[in-house]
């Protein structure tokens, strides 16, 4: 899982259990993911737990500001994966 598309799929999959009606094709990739999908802090925590399980990247709280849009989240995951690989 080391391409942007695969990671995007992983995010989409994780969101299915949290915001089933969300459609990533209609999400602005550079705007706030949480605001667009109406994810509260509990939903966001669940998203990070799901990504930790599927992608293997644990995003520390201090980095939450770096993963606020879909594009930034995917590139963050890509960066962290490459570093640990």
Partner 1 sequence: MPSFGADMDAARFVQWQVKPGQALKRGDVVAVVETQKGAIDVELWHDGTMARLLAQPGQEIPVGDVLAVLAGEGEDWQQLAAAPVAATVAAPPAAPPTQAQAPPASTAPTASVAAQHARMSPAARQRAQALGVDIEALAAQMPERVVALADVERAATTAAAAAPSRSTAMRAAIGAAMTRSWREIPHYHVGCEIVVEEPLRALEAFNRDRPVNERVLFAAVLLRAVAQAASDTPTLNGRFENGVFQPADAVHLGVVTSLRGGGLVVPTVHDAHRLSLSELMSQLRAVLERARNAQLRSSDLADSTLSVSHLGDLGAETVQGVIYPPQVALVGLGRVVLRPAVVNGQVVAARTLHASLAGDHRVSDGLVGSRFLAALTARLKTLEPGS
Residues found near partner 1 in the complex (CB under 8 A): 19-21, 34-35, 38-42, 45, 48-49, 52, 58-62
* CB closer to partner 1, 6 vs 18: 18
* CB closer to partner 1, 5 vs 83: 83
Task: Compute the least distance from the CB of residue 24 to partner 1, in Å.
Answer: 16
* CB closer to partner 1, 51 vs 78: 51
Q: Please provide the DSSP assignment of 13-68 as one string.
A: HHHHTT-TT--GGGS-TTSBHHHHHT--HHHHHHHHHHHHHHH-----GGGGGGGS
Task: Compute the least distance from the CB of residue 50 to partner 1, in Å.
Answer: 10
Instruction: Supply the DSSP symbol for 69.
Output: B
């Amino acid at each position: 899982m080391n391409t942007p598309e695969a990671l995007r799929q992983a995010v989409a999959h994780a969101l299915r259990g949290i915001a089933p009606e969300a459609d990533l094709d209609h999400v602005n990739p550079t705007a706030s993911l949480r605001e667009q999908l109406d994810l509260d802090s509990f939903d966001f925590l669940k998203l990070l737990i799901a990504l930790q399980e599927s992608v293997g990247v644990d995003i520390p709280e201090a980095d939450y500001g770096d993963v606020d849009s879909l594009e930034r989240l995917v590139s963050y995951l890509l960066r962290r994966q490459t570093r640990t690989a």
